[in-house]
Amino acid sequence: MLTLLHADDGPHGRMPLLTLFPGYFLLPLADMPATGPATEPRALWQRLLFVGLCLLLPVVWGAIVNRMFDLWQRRPTEAGDDRIFPEYQI
Amino acid sequence: MLDFAVTDLLLILTVGSAVGFISGVFGVGGGFLLVPVLHIGLGLPIQIAVGSAACQVLGPATTSCLARRLTREDLRIPLIVAGGITIGVYAGATLLHSLTSGQIARSGSLGIHTGDLLVLSVYLPLLLTLGGFSLWEGQRALIRRPVRTGWVAHWRIPPTVSLSAFTHGPISIPVLSWFGLLVGFLAGLLGFSGGLLLLPGLIYLLGLSWSNAVANSIAIVWLIAFQSTIAHAWHGHVQLSVVAGLLVGGTLGAKLGVNFSAGVSPARGRRSFGWLALGTAVVIAAKLVALLHSAGAW
């Protein structure tokens, strides 16, 4: 079993989430709002920034992977090249 | 402060690689495997497993969109179903959140996590149906008696639209939207990419050709992943350390899986996927039985 989370914890009871991320100190955020609804401005901004980070991380990773495969396959990136990329996940 | 050891990261990387490898071999998204593995295998709470799996889907979905270089026409159907997807994803993620927090997190006298119970109970018939369908469809393809397509394409509830991608004539916009609503709801609730349902749905229910279904599903999966990530992250159900491990491991595993599967015929691949889905369903059924048994339900 993993030690980082426990099944009996509530969804907001074990923050800060980002401190679990290796290299979290590189991130502009420290943590998620610990409790309660996102009604306070600070909690709301923290939540919005966390959502933004969750969107950014996989999108950036996906773009980097695509670029790496472009370079790996020595594929030109100019428009008009329509060779099929292996769709490993859909 | 919670303890996050290097061994945990290695475990996540290994899981990501294994699921990525299987995804690469079978050419499907690994979301339907990730949630059971993260929850049953590694003991993550169901809402974290669902949220993190939904978030990591955005990575490979982005790669697919960039690599495929979708045209404007490829975005037409995804944008038509986007309304249904948005509502569905929001409803699914909100339902999961309400079941895993507050006073209804445990079901009455049994003391079972209602979120666990609901997610696993929905996964079980879904995987049984898809696994059974894949075996049947793969078998029909092997004996050269392909399954008829466009089962609901003749439901022409107005307004309809004529698109060249649909081989059965005009398609109903409400039917497309309800399809998006259903897929979005299940993706929001279960944390998978939706591709598992999209490809058979677009081909066999709506009558899209295979190549059009693939192009459209790539864009729809990205939309679903984007909206699921927002919904689950808003509720605090995304664990970025898990997402990072799954992204790295999944990419490496998927690349190996694609190389490994080269030369396998699509029909045989779909049959193998059917067995994989049924095997996953058996594991989920065992977990459900254990849950109910430990709670003294019988």
CA–CA separation, B245 and B234 (whole Å) = 21
Whether the CB-CB separation of B19 and A82 falls below 8 Å is answered with no
Cα gap B93→B188, rounded to integer Å? 5
**Averaged pLDDT, B4-18:** 84
Decide if B17 contacts B260 (C-beta within 8 A): no
Does residue B73 fall inside a structural domain? yes
Q: How far is CA B292 from CA B36, B113, B248, in A?
A: 17, 10, 36
A-chain residues near B229 (CB < 8 A): 51, 54-55, 58
The pLDDT tens digits of the residues spanning B18-69 come to 888 887 777 666 778 889 899 988 889 999 999 999 999 999 888 888 888 7
Q: Are B176 and B206 in contact (CB under 8 A)?
A: yes
Greatest mean pLDDT among A50-64, B22-36, B205-219? A50-64
Closest to A14 (Cα-Cα) out of B238, B60, B291, B171: B238
ipTM confidence score: 0.81
Better-scored residue on pLDDT, A81 or B43: B43
CB-CB: which of A3, A18, A55 is closest to B5?
Answer: A3
How buried is B168 (Cβ within 10 angstroms: 0-12 exposed, 13-18 middle, 19+ buried)? middle
State if pTM tops 0.90. no
H or E stretch at B152: none
Q: Is residue B121 part of a domain?
A: yes
Number of structural domains, chain A?
Answer: 1
Rounded mean pLDDT, A29-57: 74
Which residues of B fall within a CB distance of 8 Å from A21?
240-241, 244
Considering its fold, how many domains does chain B have in total?
A: 1
Domain range for B134: 6-294
- The rounded distance, in Å, linking the Cα atoms of B143 and B146 is 8
Residue A58 structural domain: 40-75
Q: Give me the DSSP letters along B178-200.
A: HHHHHHHHHHHHH---SHHHHHH
Q: Is there a domain that residue A52 lies in?
A: yes
Does residue A82 lie within any of the structural domains?
Answer: no
| H or E element at residue B133 | helix B114-142
Q: Which residue has the higher pLDDT, B106 or B143?
A: B143
**Which of chain B's residues have a Cβ under 8 Å away from the Cβ of A71?**
none
Across the range B134-147, mean pLDDT stands at 84
Over range B147-155, report the average pLDDT.
84
B67 with A57: Cβ contact below 8 A? no
Q: Do the domain assignments include residue A50?
A: yes
Q: Residues with Cβ < 8 Å from B237, sequence gap 6 or more?
A: A11, B47, B48, B50, B51, B52, B93, B96, B97, B100
